[in-house]
Amino acid sequence: MSNRENLTIKLIALDMDGTLLDNKHEISSENKEAIMLAQEKGVHVVLSTGRSFRTSRDIAKELELTSYLVTVNGSEIWNCEEELIDRKLLEPELIEWMWDLSQQHKTNFWATSCNRVWHGEIPKRIRDHEWLKFGFHVDDDSTRMMIEQELKSNGRIEVSNSSPKNIEANCLGVNKAEGLKKVCSLVGITMEQVMACGDSLNDLAMVKESGLGVAMENAQDELKRSADWITLSNKDSGVAHAIHKWVL
């Protein structure tokens, strides 16, 4: 950790649910103030989320963010003018296969297309749409492990989660770290100059590959083991705590 004390952080990457947002899906005044101070210091603040652009842009506006937005686990990158910079699609045949898998195992599911999020339903003509992510919610541990293994053995799917009870599937090679690498190249910095904060396995790649990987106190154990530092929980403005310690 001693060499990390000398890090110069130029970009803060923040997961939203379970990290930036409290359990009511709100942003604390402490988090808002810390983010504002970081931006005033010239530090980029980037939301790096599993959410779609449509369900995250209001938070970016509320925080008056002036940098990029990494959405759907790195499937898309947007700029602050709401222009799409990059997009990685999941093949429709994989969506059909995963929907069949959810029916076979009788799980709840959702799917993110380029224009909406489908909860518990899917369009009749899946191949007429462009897709970014498929998600399973599975309460039973053995069923969830079975589905995870099927997804991983497919070889064309990036598997993660945003809670211990779900599975998130993106196009192979799509994750938040890869999205942030593109953002770093756009703003002229390296991943060594990034502080990434998260709580779930869809944050694992960015926490491992950033100069400073921060896990929330409420994070999943695997993420905590991979992080450089553990901050307070999302209920206790852990994001602000990390920003004050490492950036301000």
Supply angle C-alpha 106, 71, 91, rounded to 5.
Answer: 55
With H, G, I as helix, E, B as strand and everything else as coil, classify residue 36.
Answer: helix
* Cα-based distances in Å from 158 to 8, 124, 134: 31, 25, 11
pLDDT in tens, 222-247: 999 999 999 999 999 999 999 999 99
Residue 111 reports pLDDT greater than 60: yes
Residues known to be catalytic: 15
CB atoms within 10 A of CB 7: 17
Nearest to 7 by CA among 196, 182, 200, 238: 196
Could you tell me where the DSSP H helices lie in 111-155?
A: 141-154
What percentage of the chain has pLDDT greater than the value 70?
98
Contacts of 7 (CB under 8 A, 6+ apart): 192, 193, 195, 211, 212, 246
Kindly state the helix (H) or strand (E) to which residue 94 belongs, with its residue range: helix 92-104
pLDDT at 3: 59
Nearest to 172 by CA among 146, 194, 153: 153
Mean pLDDT over all residues of the chain? 96
pLDDT in tens, 47-72: 999 999 999 999 999 999 999 999 99
Integer Cα distance of 126 and 117 in angstroms: 13
pLDDT at 118: 97
CB atoms within 10 A of CB 166: 22
Integer Cα distance of 15 and 203 in angstroms: 7
202-227 mean pLDDT: 98
Residue 2 reports pLDDT greater than 50: no
pLDDT at 7: 85
CB distance 159 to 200 below 8 Å: no
With 0.75 as the threshold, say if the pTM is over it. Answer: yes
Task: pLDDT band for 1, please (50, 70, 90 cuts).
Answer: very low
pLDDT at 181: 98
Residue 219 reports pLDDT greater than 60: yes
